[in-house]
Homo-oligomer: A and B are copies of this chain.
C-alpha cells in the first residue's frame, strides 16, 4: 500500500477550524487508498507562550527542562488533530515523538535524530489507522525528552518518510510552494513546479525560509520525494527532488540575507600564511565565514574582508583582536550596513553568461557590488543594505520570465 507522510506547521493547526481543515486534507488522502502518517507542530503561539512562562521563572532555564516544557505543545496538537480525524469517522491514533520511535542524542534543544524505531508506528499503519505524530521531539538514551530545534518538525517528517520508505513527503505550510523570491517583496517572483535538493539547500542557506536545511539535507541523503504546498489553498505545490527536468529557467531563486556583517582586517603585511592564520582562528571558534575578499593596498600592505552571520560578529572581532598585534595589522573594520543577495540554479553550471547577466542587472539599477562569491549553482553579491529589495527585483526581472 502506498504511504504518504504529511507535515503541518503551527499556523495550519492554530484553531479548531484549521484543525478540521487539516483533518479533511488527511482523510481525503486516506480515502484515496493511501496509508497516511501526519506530523504536526505546536499550535500557533503555544511555543512562544510556553517560552514566556519559562522566562518568567528563569531567563536561562535548564535545556532539559525546557524540552520537557516545550514538547507539550506538539502533544496538545496531536491529541486535538486525532480527535478531529476521529470525529470525521476515520480510525486514528496519536503518538508522541518517543512513541513514534525517535531516538536522538542528548543535545537538548537541538538534538539530532540517531534512529527512528518505527515498529509500533507500522503496527498501527497495518491496522489501517491514520497515525498522527508529534514533530520536533524525541527521546535520548536516558529516557529524557529532547527537541530537535529550528525546523525540527520538517526534519521529523522527512526522517519518518525515509525510514518508512514513503512514496511522498508533503510539507504543508502557509505558502503554496517555493517561489523564485519572496513574493511579498519581489513582484516578478514565480512559483516553481520543481526544484532540486541542491538548489533548495542553497536557497535556504541564502535566506529563503520555506524549508529548513536539515530536512532538505536529510531528504537528499535518503532520496525522499518532497513536496511543499499550502494547507489553506488546494493548488499544486513545488516538488523538491534529486534531479529536476530541464527547464528554460536558468535560476530557481533570488534570495536576500540581511543577517550578515562584513569584517575587514586592514593593513596586513603582504606575507604568506596571513589568511591561513586568520581563518584558522575563526574556524577554531566555530565562526562560519562566507564571502571572502583579499585586496592589495597601495602601500604594499593588504586587506582581508569577509562576512559572518550577525550573531557571530562579537566573537569574530574578539578573536581577531587577540591576533592583531601578532599579525601586525593596522585595524579591524566592521560594516553592518550590508546585505547578501544571491541567485541559485543548477542551470547556471552550463551557462557562463549567468554571472554577467546578474552584474549587468545590478549595474542598470545603479547598485554597487562590494563583494562576490560563487559556487557551482549559486552567485552571491554583497551590497549596501538599503538596496537589497531593489536588487532582488532587478535581478528577478532579468532572469524570471
Contact = CB atoms under 8 A, between A and B. Distances in A.
B62 A99 contact: no
B76 A61 contact: no
Contacts of A83: 54, 57-58, 61-62, 65, 69
B78 A68 contact: yes
A20 B56 CA distance: 11
A277 interface: no
Contacts of A68: 75, 78-79, 82, 94, 96
Contacts of A348: none
Given A75-B72, A80-B54, A143-B99, A65 B87 contact: no
A66 to B, nearest CB: 7
Given A65-B94, A80-B69, A99-B143, A87 B75 contact: no
Contacts of A56: 16
A21 interface: no
Tell me if A's interface is mostly helix, strand, loop or mixed: helix
A104 to B, nearest CB: 16
Interface string A93-122: 110100100000000000000000000100
A50 B65 contact: no
Nearest to A86: B62
A80 B58 CA distance: 9
Interface string A9-41: 000000010011000000000000000000000
A124 to B, nearest CB: 11
Interface string A80-91: 101110110000
Q: Among A54, A58, A69, A83, which residue has the most Cβ atoms of chain B within 10 A?
A: A83
B69 A79 contact: yes
A150 interface: no
Contacts of A62: 82-83, 86
A144 B80 CA distance: 16
A53 interface: yes
Contacts of A20: 57
B84 A66 contact: no
A154 to B, nearest CB: 22
Contacts of A64: 93
A26 to B, nearest CB: 14
A43 to B, nearest CB: 9
Q: Among A53, A76, A79, which residue has the most Cβ atoms of chain B within 10 A?
A: A79
Given A62-B83, A83-B62, A120 B143 contact: yes
A265 to B, nearest CB: 42
A145 B86 CA distance: 18
Nearest to A15: B56
Given A94-B68, A99-B143, A143-B120, A61 B75 contact: no
A126 to B, nearest CB: 15
A112 B16 CA distance: 32
A53 B80 contact: yes
Contact of A86 (B58, B78, B87): B58
**A-B residue pairs, 6 tightest by C-beta:** A69-B79, A72-B72, A68-B79, A16-B56, A61-B83, A58-B87
Given A16-B56, A53-B76, A61-B87, 14 more contacts: A16-B57, A19-B57, A50-B76, A54-B80, A57-B87, A58-B83, A62-B82, A62-B83, A65-B86, A68-B75, A68-B82, A68-B96, A69-B75, A120-B143
